[in-house]
Amino acid sequence: MTTRVTVVVPTRDSARTLDRCLASVRAQTHPVELIVVDNGSTDATPRISARHADAVLDHGPERSAQRNQGWRTGTGEVVAFVDSDMVLAPEIVAEAVALFAADPSLGGLVIPELSFGEGFLAACRAMEKRSYLGDPRVEAARIFRRVALEKTGGYAEDLTAFEDWDLADRVAATGYGIGRVASVVEHDEGRITLRSAFAKRRYYGRWLPAYRSRPWARSFGRSRSLRRLLRLGPPPRIAGLLALKAVEGAGLLAGSRAAGRVPSGEPRRL
């Protein structure tokens, strides 16, 4: 029998990247059930979703709740979570099914992530993402057995940032192993600016205190792979990446200080 797989994509005003994302899900070599969970989009997101998805749900208030609504609605024995600005290689789902079938101890799988975008800072980000490949301190699982989600309750809905690390580490804490597929997902960064990078991290930083209170919270020190990159990478891109990381760090700090003061309905980026 074919293993049933559900792919869940949370959206909010995601029209710029969504068509390519959902087309890559539909192009998987293993059949999938595709569920889009929208959160009040006002652009073309619902229309694009309807063209590709088996079901389009409306749920909020944030992406952790959207993802949970998606996997609980779906029927797959295996569930993959894909962001609306990601493009999947066509073999990812088939590889995941084969890995889970071969090793019953696995509960989650990492999808190696690369990125692309426009401009100098997007090139710096792509260099950074390449340095993280295979680094367990940075990567987090995106594909899970349904039983692992049921055992842990899925994503923590009090987190809208760091929730991917949180879930992967809770799955591992239940005794499941975490593996990884070989094929990659590519993250469409668009055009990165220092202003947008600061704003995004400031928003995410509001969940930093809640995440760091977890006993399994990961350290925010630079990984060994990034330190190696900063020694050996091309000097102009190293300088750009250092500037980008400094701005992002300042954004996280500002957001952390504002924790507990997140107005309901504030725009968020998925």
CATH at 99: 3.90.550.10
Confidence band of 263 (pLDDT split at 50, 70, 90): very low
**Residue 133 belongs to some domain of the structure:** yes
pLDDT, one tens digit per residue, over 143-184 is 999 999 999 999 999 999 999 999 999 999 999 999 999 999
Distance between CA atoms of 146 and 132, rounded to whole angstroms?
27
The neighbouring-strand residues paired with 180 are 110
**Residue 129 belongs to some domain of the structure:** yes
Residue 262, pLDDT > 70, answer no
Characterise 175 by phi-psi region: left (phi > 0), alpha (psi -120 to 50), beta (else): left
pLDDT, one tens digit per residue, over 11-32 is 999 999 999 999 999 999 999 9
pLDDT of residue 8: 98
pLDDT of residue 207: 93
Distance between CA atoms of 145 and 28, rounded to whole angstroms?
18
| Average of per-residue pLDDT across 26-53 | 97
**Residue 75 belongs to some domain of the structure:** yes
Q: What is the DSSP string of 155-217?
A: S-TT-SSSHHHHHHHHHHHTT-EEEE-SS-EEEEEEE--HHHHHHHHHHHHTTHHHHHTSTTP
Distance between CA atoms of 7 and 44, rounded to whole angstroms?
20
**Residue 262 belongs to some domain of the structure:** no
Residue 269, pLDDT > 50, answer no
The neighbouring-strand residues paired with 245 are none
Among residues 246, 252, 232, the alpha carbon closest in space to that of 131 is found at: 232
Domain count, the chain: 1
Tokens of 37: 């969970």
Distance between CA atoms of 185 and 111, rounded to whole angstroms?
6
The packing angle between helices 224-232 and 235-257, to 10°, is: 140
The model carries a pTM of: 0.90
The neighbouring-strand residues paired with 179 are 109
**Residue 269 belongs to some domain of the structure:** no
Confidence band of 251 (pLDDT split at 50, 70, 90): very high
Q: Which domain holds residue 120?
A: 5-257
Percentages (nearest 5) of helix, strand, coil residues in the chain = 45, 20, 35
> Tokens 């690390």 — which residue?
165
**Residue 54 belongs to some domain of the structure:** yes
pLDDT, one tens digit per residue, over 204-245 is 999 999 999 998 888 765 566 667 777 767 889 999 999 999
Confidence band of 266 (pLDDT split at 50, 70, 90): very low
Residue 260, pLDDT > 50, answer yes
Residue 261, pLDDT > 70, answer no
Q: 89-98, 104-113, 124-133, 230-239: lowest mean pLDDT where?
A: 230-239
| Average of per-residue pLDDT across 60-66 | 94
Distance between CA atoms of 4 and 146, rounded to whole angstroms?
10
Tokens of 114: 């690369």
**Residue 268 belongs to some domain of the structure:** no
pLDDT of residue 166: 95
**Residue 134 belongs to some domain of the structure:** yes
